[in-house]
Structures are given as structure tokens and as C-alpha cells.
Amino acid sequence: MTNSERIIYEARRIGFDKAGVVRADALANERERLEEWLGRGYHGDMAWMAREPAMRSDPRLLFPPARSVIVVALNYYTPHEHSDEPGTGKVSRYAWGDDYHDIMRAKLRELADFVKSIDEAAETRACVDTAPIMDKAWAVHAGLGWLGKHSNLITTELGSWIFIGELLVSLELEEISEPVPDHCGTCTACLDACPTDAIVESYVVDSTRCLSYTTIEFRAPELSDELSKHLNGWLYGCDICQDVCPWNRFQKPTGEAGFEPRPGNVSADLGRILSLSPTEYAERFQRSAMKRTKLSGLQRNARAIIDHEQNHGSEDRARLSPGEDND
């Protein structure tokens, strides 16, 4: 068994659902596409996305000792459903449970320890989402799946309900990656379902139109009527493009208990959100991905949903309920 094969086996034992190993080479084509995307202003207020595109596409600039990249994926799907009741706010599935950054990093640290057991001189760096590295591009190169038209990674075994992470290592490892063909075909379900037309063309998302961006990254103190009318009850994030993806019919419940929903995190009580004090907010969302939007952002979104429901009723929720017209 090669070192790469041993590492892949260990990654699965630790709890990752998929893993691959590739050389830590620069991703020239992906850098070109990133720079074009940035040039269109599709990153909006996410200024960090525009910093050091060269580093984002070359792991050796991020971590000079890097010679190989171990790419892992972890399934986070749990079989729960949102409520469409007025006065509740829908939360994106990825944020229902404990913060995935903590869960992924803990598993990657364990994998790093295993790599060092192979060679005690090995240097490693774990990356989960916040590091300047192109997670989805590396997952494609490692053969974990393909990039869907909604720009999320899709796997044949689990659909797109997965988190991606990388372990950059100083060892020259044998590549273990089987390219996965693009299986989207002529399907345009995600483009057709997006309420704001954020998927401006296949494989290209204008973040400034995306509800996930609007409810999480957009920092305006209030949402305009134009933005509010598209929320359809989404308090934090949006899963519409994934909910309608035919490949997510192959979804399977995760084996990671930390991704089970916390109380009130699938469909949050908007009145309760508005009444939270800073202390209550910190306690409720400790070690939760929902901290990203801060209390002010969460309450802003809750106000926008309530105001729109009071003015227009809840018909929009029914019109765009998850999974509708998915056949």
C-alpha cells in the first residue's frame, strides 16, 4: 500500500466521506476564471476574495513547503425540513448544527498527525473555507466530483451536501485522483429555480444577487424592498439551487452527530431572533456558523421577512418551497 493509499484509508477511518491526493501545482486555468469573475464585480462587498488571486490558485504561495494536497469531503446532510409557517425564518442546511470549521479542522488535525506518523519531518497546513485557497477547484482536481452549474461541487454518491477541506503537506505523495465527468448535461434546474437570477450563466454566480450573500455577507443596516421581496422566508443563507438539483436525490444522512440541527436552527422563530440580547445571541450561536452574519445582520433579515409578510402575506413561501417542481 502506498503512502497516499494509507492516507486515503485513514481519512475515511477518521470520518471523511471522500478523499483524494494531487500535486500542489498552480491552477492556471482556475486563476484566469477567478480574475474574470472578480473583474465583473461578482464578489460584491467580499473584498477578501480579490486579495492575492495568485495565492488562491497556487498553494505553494500560501504554504511554501507544500508538495501535495490531500483534499477531503464531509457529508453534512440531515433529513429535516423547513417550516413555511409565517413568523419563522429558514436557515441554510449547512448552518443547522455545530460550526463546520471546527468539525473539519479537528478531523484534519487528526489526519495531519497520521501524515507525521509516516514521516516525522512532514510539515502540514489544514485549510477549511477561510484560507485563501480554491476549495472547489481542488476537489475537482482530486476527483471528488464535478462543479455543477450552480458552482457547487456535486458528487455522484452524496449530491452536493458536502464540506470541502485540504491538508497541504510537504511530502511528495503519489496522486490518487480519478477525474469525474460533468454530469449536469442539459439540466438547468438550478438556473430556473434561482429567484434572483444569481446564476447568470452556467457555472457562474453573481454573488451580489445571491440570497446567501444578501443574508450573510451583505452588511447594509437594512434590506431594500427589492431585496426583501425575494427572501421568501430565508433568514440565513439559501439552499434553493441545491434543493432542486436532481443529484441531491442521492443524498444520505451524515454520520457526523455534530451536524444534527440545534434547537430552533432549521426554522427560527423570528420574534425570538428580534428579542435576542447580545449576550443571549453569543450563548445561542456559540460554535455555530451562524455567527458569520452577526446579531445585527440576523435581526435585519428577520425584520425584512416580517415586514414583507405583513405587506404581502406568505404566498411567496409557498411559491418557492424547497424541492418544488424537482421532477
The pLDDT tens digits for 271-286 are 999 999 999 999 999 9
Please give the pLDDT value at position 325: 40
Helix, strand, coil share (%) of the chain residues, nearest 5:
45, 15, 45
> Are residues 10 and 149 part of one domain?
yes
Neighbours of 211 (CB within 10 A): 25
**Helices and strands, counts by H and E, the chain:** 14, 11
Q: How many domains does the chain have?
A: 2
Q: For residue range 104-162, list pLDDT tens digits in order.
A: 999 999 999 999 999 999 999 999 998 999 999 999 999 999 999 999 999 999 999 99
> Are residues 136 and 37 part of one domain?
yes
Q: Quickly state the pLDDT bin for 313 (edges 50, 70, 90).
A: low
Q: In what order do the strands lie in the sheet with 234-236?
A: 234-236, 88-91, 267-269
Tell which of 169, 198, 219 closes a domain.
169
Structural domain includes residue 324: no
Q: Quickly state the pLDDT bin for 322 (edges 50, 70, 90).
A: very low
> Are residues 156 and 240 part of one domain?
no
Is the pLDDT at 314 greater than 90, yes or no?
no
Please give the pLDDT value at position 12: 98
> Could you list the active site residues?
129
> Are residues 61 and 128 part of one domain?
yes
Structural domain includes residue 182: no
Is the pLDDT at 187 greater than 80, yes or no?
yes
> Are residues 138 and 222 part of one domain?
no
Q: For residue range 56-82, list pLDDT tens digits in order.
A: 999 999 999 999 999 999 999 999 999
Is the pLDDT at 45 greater than 50, yes or no?
yes
Please give the pLDDT value at position 130: 87
Q: In whole angstroms, what is the distance from residue 158 CA to residue 175 CA?
A: 23
Locate 156 and state its grid cell.
Answer: 455522484
Please give the pLDDT value at position 311: 84
Q: For residue range 15-38, list pLDDT tens digits in order.
A: 999 999 999 999 999 999 999 999
Structural domain includes residue 327: no
Higher pLDDT, 228 or 312: 228
Please check whether residue 100 is in contact with residue 76, taking contact to mean a CB–CB distance below 8 angstroms.
yes
> Are residues 144 and 29 part of one domain?
yes
The pTM for the full model equals 0.93
Please give the pLDDT value at position 323: 45
Structural domain includes residue 90: no
> Are residues 74 and 21 part of one domain?
yes
Structural domain includes residue 64: yes
Please give the pLDDT value at position 52: 86
CA-CA-CA-CA dihedral for 236, 240, 245, 249, to nearest 10: 70
> Are residues 298 and 231 part of one domain?
yes
Q: Which of 168, 165, 162 is nearest to 145 (CA)?
A: 162
| Amino acid in the structure at residue 320 | L
> Are residues 242 and 120 part of one domain?
no
Is the pLDDT at 240 greater than 90, yes or no?
yes
The alpha helices in the chain, defined as continuous H runs, are 3-14, 28-39, 53-57, 59-62, 100-118, 135-141, 189-193, 211-212, 225-228, 240-243, 270-275, 278-284, 294-312, 315-319
Is the pLDDT at 327 greater than 50, yes or no?
no
Is the pLDDT at 192 greater than 70, yes or no?
yes
Q: Quickly state the pLDDT bin for 288 (edges 50, 70, 90).
A: very high
Strands 199-201 and 204-205: antiparallel
Structural domain includes residue 15: yes
Please give the pLDDT value at position 266: 97
Please give the pLDDT value at position 206: 98
Burial of 255 (0-12, 13-18, 19+ CB in 10 A): exposed
Helix (H, G, I), strand (E, B) or coil at 321: coil
Is the pLDDT at 316 greater than 70, yes or no?
no
Locate 291 and state its grid cell.
Answer: 455567527
The overall average pLDDT reported for the chain is 94
Question: Domain limits at 138?
Answer: 3-82+96-169
Structural domain includes residue 175: no
Tell which of 119, 138, 169 closes a domain.
169
> Are residues 223 and 119 part of one domain?
no
- Alpha carbons within 13 A on the beta-carbon side of 120: 0
Q: What does the pLDDT average to over 203-220?
A: 97
Is the pLDDT at 243 greater than 90, yes or no?
yes
> Are residues 128 and 21 part of one domain?
yes
Q: What does the pLDDT average to over 215-235?
A: 95
Locate 112 and state its grid cell.
Answer: 495531519
